[in-house]
Amino acid sequence: MCTICIKQEFYTILQAKTEIILMKINKNLAISENGFCLNPVTGESFSINPIGAEIIQLFKAGMTSEKVVKELCTSYNIDEATMERDLYDFVNVLKHHQLIQADEKN
Amino acid sequence: MKRTKITVGVTGINPIDSPGPGIPVIRGIRDSVEMESRIIGLSYESLDPGIYMHELVDKTYQLPYPSAGADRLLDRLEYIQSKEHLDVIIPNLDAELYSFIKLEPQLKQMGIHMCLPTLFQFEERHKFHLDEFGKKYDIPVPKSKTIYAPEEVYGLHNDFMYPIVIKGKFYDAGIAHNPEQAKTYFNKISAKWGLPIIVQQFVMGNEYNVVGLGDGKGNTIAAVPMRKQFITDKGKAWAGISIDEKTLLDMTRKFVKATKWKGGFELELMKDANGKYFLLEINPRIPAWVYLAVGCGQNIPEALVKLAMGKKVEPYTDYAIGKMFVRYSYDMIVDISEFEKITTLGEL
Check whether residue B160 and residue B77 sit in a common domain: no
- Concatenate the DSSP letters of all residues of B42-99 into one string: EESSTT-GGGG-TTT-SEEEE---GGG-HHHHHHHHHHHHHHH--SEEE---HHHHHH
- Domains held by chain B: number: 2
Identify any residues that bridge with B42 across adjacent strands, giving them in sequence order. B11, B61
Q: Is there a domain that residue B15 lies in?
A: yes
Interface of A with B (CB under 8 A): 28, 30, 38, 40-45, 98, 102
pLDDT of residue A18: 46
Check whether residue B47 and residue B99 sit in a common domain: yes
Check whether residue B22 and residue B89 sit in a common domain: yes
Closest CA to B117 of B16, B263, B298: B263
Q: Is there a domain that residue A101 lies in?
A: no
B188-231 tens-digit pLDDT: 999 988 889 999 999 998 889 999 999 999 999 999 999 999 98
CATH number (domain holding residue B171): 3.30.1490.20
* Pairwise CB contact (< 8 Å): A28 & B244: yes
The beta-carbon neighbor of B275 closest among A28, A44, A102 is A102
pLDDT of residue A1: 41
Q: Is there a domain that residue A105 lies in?
A: no
CATH number (domain holding residue B98): 3.40.50.20
Chain B residues with CB under 8 Å of A43 CB are: 208, 226-227, 229, 240-243
How many C-beta atoms surround the C-beta of residue A73 within 10 A? 16
**Which of A36, A41, A98 should one mutate to test binding to chain B, selecting the residue with the greatest count of B CBs within 10 A?**
A41
Q: A21 CA to chain B: closest CA distance, Å?
A: 18
From B157, B182, B201, give the residue that closes a domain.
B201
Q: Is there a domain that residue B278 lies in?
A: no
Whole-number Cα distances in Å, B65 to B20, B31, B81: 15, 30, 18
Chain A residues with CB under 8 Å of B245 CB are: 41-42
B242 shares contact with chain A (CB less than 8 Å): yes
Highest mean pLDDT: which range of A54-63, B167-176, B217-226:
B217-226
**Structural element, H or E, at residue B107:** helix B94-109
Check whether residue B42 and residue B104 sit in a common domain: yes
Chain A residues with CB under 8 Å of B241 CB are: 43, 45
Report the percent of chain B where pLDDT is more than 90: 82
Check whether residue B102 and residue B162 sit in a common domain: no
The beta-carbon neighbor of B245 closest among A38, A41, A45 is A41
pLDDT of residue A4: 41
The beta-carbon neighbor of A38 closest among B206, B275, B322 is B322
Residue A21 has pLDDT above 60, yes or no: no
B292 shares contact with chain A (CB less than 8 Å): no
Average pLDDT of the segment spanning B276-294: 95
**Which of A26, A32, A42 should one mutate to test binding to chain B, selecting the residue with the greatest count of B CBs within 10 A?**
A42
From B152, B174, B201, give the residue that closes a domain.
B201
Q: Is there a domain that residue A13 lies in?
A: yes
Q: Is there a domain that residue A104 lies in?
A: no
Q: Is there a domain that residue A11 lies in?
A: yes
B45-55 tens-digit pLDDT: 999 999 999 99
The beta-carbon neighbor of A41 closest among B226, B240, B243 is B243
Q: How far apart are CA A88 and CA A95, in angstroms?
A: 10
- Cross-sheet strand order for the sheet of B88-90: B59-62, B35-43, B4-11, B88-90
Average pLDDT of the segment spanning B177-181: 93
**Which of B319, B321, B325 should one mutate to test binding to chain A, selecting the residue with the greatest count of A CBs within 10 A?**
B321
B245 shares contact with chain A (CB less than 8 Å): yes
Q: Is there a domain that residue B167 lies in?
A: yes
Phi and psi, residue B35, nearest 5°: -120, 140
Binding-face residues of B in 37-66 toward A, CB within 8 A: none
pLDDT of residue B148: 93
* Pairwise CB contact (< 8 Å): A30 & B322: yes
Q: Is there a domain that residue B19 lies in?
A: yes
How many C-beta atoms surround the C-beta of residue B277 within 10 A? 20
Identify any residues that bridge with B213 across adjacent strands, giving them in sequence order. B222, B264
B83-105 tens-digit pLDDT: 999 999 999 999 999 999 999 99
Query: pLDDT-based confidence at B246, cuts 50/70/90?
Result: very high
- One-letter amino acid at B113 equals H
- Domains held by chain A: number: 1
Closest CA to B215 of B259, B279, B250, B267: B259
Q: Is A105 exposed, middle or buried (0-12, 13-18, 19+ CB in 10 A)?
A: exposed
Residue B63's domain comprises: 4-114+331-344
Residue B193 contacts by C-beta under 8 Å, 6 or more apart in sequence? B168, B169, B170, B171, B172
Whole-number Cα distances in Å, B191 to A22, B20, B153, B171: 54, 22, 16, 12
* Pairwise CB contact (< 8 Å): B240 & A43: yes
Check whether residue B147 and residue B109 sit in a common domain: no
Query: pLDDT-based confidence at B129, cuts 50/70/90?
Result: confident
Chain B residues with CB under 8 Å of A40 CB are: 243-244, 321-322
Q: A16 CA to chain B: closest CA distance, Å?
A: 25
Helix %, strand %, coil % for chain B, to 5?
35, 25, 35
Q: Is there a domain that residue A22 lies in?
A: yes
* Pairwise CB contact (< 8 Å): A43 & B243: yes
B310 shares contact with chain A (CB less than 8 Å): no
The most distant pair of C-alpha atoms in chain A lies apart, rounded to whole Å, by: 47
Q: What is the CA radius of gyration of chain B?
A: 20
Structural contact between residues B201 and B143, judged by C-beta atoms closer than 8 angstroms: yes
Check whether residue B109 and residue B176 sit in a common domain: no
Check whether residue B36 and residue B105 sit in a common domain: yes
Check whether residue B101 and residue B151 sit in a common domain: no
B243 shares contact with chain A (CB less than 8 Å): yes
Q: Is there a domain that residue B311 lies in?
A: no
Q: Is there a domain that residue B189 lies in?
A: yes
Note the Cα B159 to chain centre separation in Å: 30
Phi and psi, residue B267, nearest 5°: -100, 130
B322-342 tens-digit pLDDT: 999 999 999 999 999 999 999
Residue of A nearest to B226 (CA): A43
Check whether residue B108 and residue B169 sit in a common domain: no
Residue B151 has pLDDT above 60, yes or no: yes
What totals of helices (H) and strands (E) does chain B contain, helices first? 10, 14
Q: How far apart are CA B28 and CA B93, in angstroms?
A: 17
Residue A63's domain comprises: 3-96
From B172, B201, B230, give the residue that closes a domain.
B201
B321 shares contact with chain A (CB less than 8 Å): yes
Helix, coil or strand: residue A61 = coil
Residue of B nearest to A96 (CA): B273
pLDDT of residue A101: 61
Q: How far apart are CA B238 and CA B227, in angstroms?
A: 11
The beta-carbon neighbor of A40 closest among B206, B208, B244 is B244
The beta-carbon neighbor of B243 closest among A42, A98, A102 is A42
Dihedral of CA atoms B257, B261, B264, B270 in degrees, nearest 10, equals: -60
